[in-house]
Amino acid sequence: MSGVARSARQWRAASAGNGVLFLLIALLIALTLGMAQLEPLFRALFPDLGNPLYARDSFLNLMLAHIGLVLVSSLISVTIGIAAGLFVTRPVGREFEPMVSSLAAIGQTFPPAAVLAIAVPLAGFGFAPTIIALSLYGLLPVIQNTIAGLGTVPQTTLEAARGNGMSRWQILRRVELPLAMRVIIAGIRVSVIINIGTATIGSTVGAKSLGTPLIAGLVGNNLAYVIQGALLVGLLAIVTDLLFERLERRYSFGGQA
Amino acid sequence: MIELQGLTKTYAGKNVVEDVSMTLETGEFGVLIGPSGCGKSTTLKMINRLVPLSSGRIILNGDDVTELPAEQLRRRIGYAIQSTGLFPHWSVARNIATVPQLLKWSKSRIDDRVDELMAMFHLDPAEFRDKYPHQLSGGQAQRVGVARALAADPEVLLMDEPFGAVDPITREALQAEMRRVHGQTGKTIVFVTHDMDEALQLATRIALLNNGRLVQYDRPIEMMVKPADDFVREFFGQADLGLKLLSRRWVHQYQRPPSLTHHATLPGLDHCWRLDEAGRPIVLEGARLDDQHQHTDVRSEWIATPEMSMKEALSRMVWYRVMVLPVVDETGKLIGEVGMQGIMGIESDGGLHAGGPAS
């Protein structure tokens, strides 16, 4: 009986969560497409500003560019991060584990602005240096969680997999990765959320993103621009986080949940 | 049949397993036992090469499999460990299907096999197929573990302390089930335990290891009556192990033809049975503990049947002060006799290792 009651409660909680998620997604889309409709509001809030609505580019373009930056950099972080995590947990790469971990940690201690400053002379202005900075910045959580996630797979489970005649590759694909997936996804989640926020500073070196109105607002002392950019970045981060939470939940098995 | 020839494992210059050789005939239940650190588990894992061999050979049904790729070898050998060895992200059915899937059986063949195994272990497929390991009790998880190990009908089944993590009552039930499954499938089994009771319940052969060496390899009763050295004697000589062992042995395993004339077949045991017209025993001449030639009327209280446990038979001999019991069939006809000497192993014939109560 208690099991039934619990699952009913979980179901209600989940459906309430769904409601919040859909509401936030709707709000994000509405603001992205219809920020211009709020011009009277911003005019009322900031009567001193001659131009209270950022209009040099559409917010849809900025949003898509921002998502593009995050997607590309996260894809790079995740690919390199998981590959590195896998490498150092295999017998051949085990001795590189401390080195890879500290390299990734160093990548995180650099302020992204500093990485941008170094990347610009190497890669020029715009998209490329931003991608480099974001990819480096997002690497650590992915590597760390890949190593940690693979470490949670019980030794007895691995022994059973070997004892039943699975090859190394089959053990990795059928047992280790599925069991580690929840922790790995948690790492990707942190990495992506960090990058959604950090991508805004790409605008300082000319990459188009939701940071563009933000930076313009800061430079031109236009608080309305800052709010418009920050609102969308914040919403995007929250929605993404909720989506990842959902994805993580799919990979919990019994005792681990 | 599986043959181990001179298995040796060296870690850092030290032999943890040294020159272990033994042969297990098809259908035998071999138990590796010994104090902790004796190398029993290492020996088991060398059979499916979870622990690589330093030297030695393994012959499986006549094939030398020492050089066979480990994955191929392991798909021919079942492997069961404690319940935590189930894959937590797979359903019961998928766990059982692990090796058949690796062997690329067709889906219908796998489904049939899974149902068959679940039935063998009294797990209702409708209820358990789609459950996950964390939804099972310890005993159920362990049954699934053994079912998985048997799934592809392996030539040999290895079990590494499979019942070590369950409570005593569940363990007893699992042991009874294991005896039944062993009887049904006739599998050759190599089983590691540190629990002497478990070994005596299950084994047809016991291998006792100490410090990485095989001290003695024999039938359980031989280990007790003919220990190779003091270590074996001490290891087996705990309190009532002898009686425990007899409670798992059956009169028909010790039965011999009845002595119908006075003829000393055994030293100090001259006796004969008098029968009535229907062949029922009525009088025992001789074989009393106190007087060799006294006549004793046969009474139902000290008659044995083939299905009686040897513990009970021994108890009747002691209580009624006779050296032999008549063994009768359902009609009361004398079909054999069983005596003290038989229990002591003097006449332990081939029937001894022919199996436990299942046979």
B327 within domain boundaries: yes
Q: How many beta-carbon pairs under 8 angstroms link A with B?
A: 66
CA distance readout (Å), A185 to A144, A220, A244, B206: 11, 39, 8, 49
- In CATH terms, A2-256 corresponds, of 1.20.1740.10, 1.10.3720.10, 1.10.150.120, 3.40.640.10, to 1.10.3720.10
Q: CB of B75 within 8 Å of any CB in chain A?
A: yes
- Exposed, middle or buried: residue B115 (CB in 10 Å: 0-12, 13-18, 19+)? middle
Q: Smallest CA–CA separation between B60 and chain A, in Å?
A: 16
Q: CB of B82 within 8 Å of any CB in chain A?
A: yes
Domain count, chain B: 2
Residue A206 phi/psi, 5° resolution?
95, 5
Substitution target from B84, B89, B130, B192 for chain A, most A beta carbons within 10 A:
B89
**With an 8 Å Cβ cutoff, are A255 and B88 in contact?**
yes
What ipTM did this prediction achieve? Answer: 0.77
Q: Smallest CA–CA separation between B71 and chain A, in Å?
A: 4
Each residue's pLDDT, cut to its tens digit, for chain B (359 residues) gives 999 999 999 998 888 999 999 999 999 999 999 988 899 999 999 999 999 999 999 999 888 988 899 999 998 999 998 766 899 999 999 999 999 999 999 999 999 999 999 999 989 999 999 999 999 998 899 999 999 999 999 989 999 999 887 888 888 888 888 988 998 899 999 999 988 878 887 899 999 999 999 999 998 878 877 888 888 888 876 646 667 677 777 888 888 888 777 665 555 567 788 888 888 888 887 777 666 557 777 877 788 888 788 888 888 888 877 888 888 888 888 888 888 777 765 444 433 433 333 33
**With an 8 Å Cβ cutoff, are A165 and B86 in contact?**
no
Please tell me whether residues B54 and B133 are part of one structural domain: yes
| A164 vs B74, B88, B132: nearest CB | B74
**With an 8 Å Cβ cutoff, are B48 and A163 in contact?**
yes
Please tell me whether residues B77 and B53 are part of one structural domain: yes
**With an 8 Å Cβ cutoff, are B87 and A160 in contact?**
yes
| A157 vs B72, B85, B132: nearest CB | B85
Question: For residue B190, what is the enclosing H or E element?
Answer: strand B188-192
Please tell me whether residues B209 and B294 are part of one structural domain: no
Domain boundary among B246, B261, B291: B246
B198, B163 Cβ separation under 8 angstroms: yes
Residue B8 phi/psi, 5° resolution?
-135, 135
Q: Which residues pair with B322 in a beta bridge?
A: B288
Domain boundary among B191, B212, B246: B246
| Chain A partners within 8 Å of B42 (Cβ) | none
- Provide the chain B residues 25-54 that lie in CB contact (below 8 A) with chain A: 48, 50
Helix A59-89 / helix A223-250 crossing angle, nearest 10 deg: 40
B74 within domain boundaries: yes
Helix, strand, coil shares of chain B, percent, nearest 5, are 35, 25, 35
Substitution target from B47, B82, B87 for chain A, most A beta carbons within 10 A:
B87
CATH of the domain at B281: 3.10.580.10
Residue B296, domain extent? 251-350
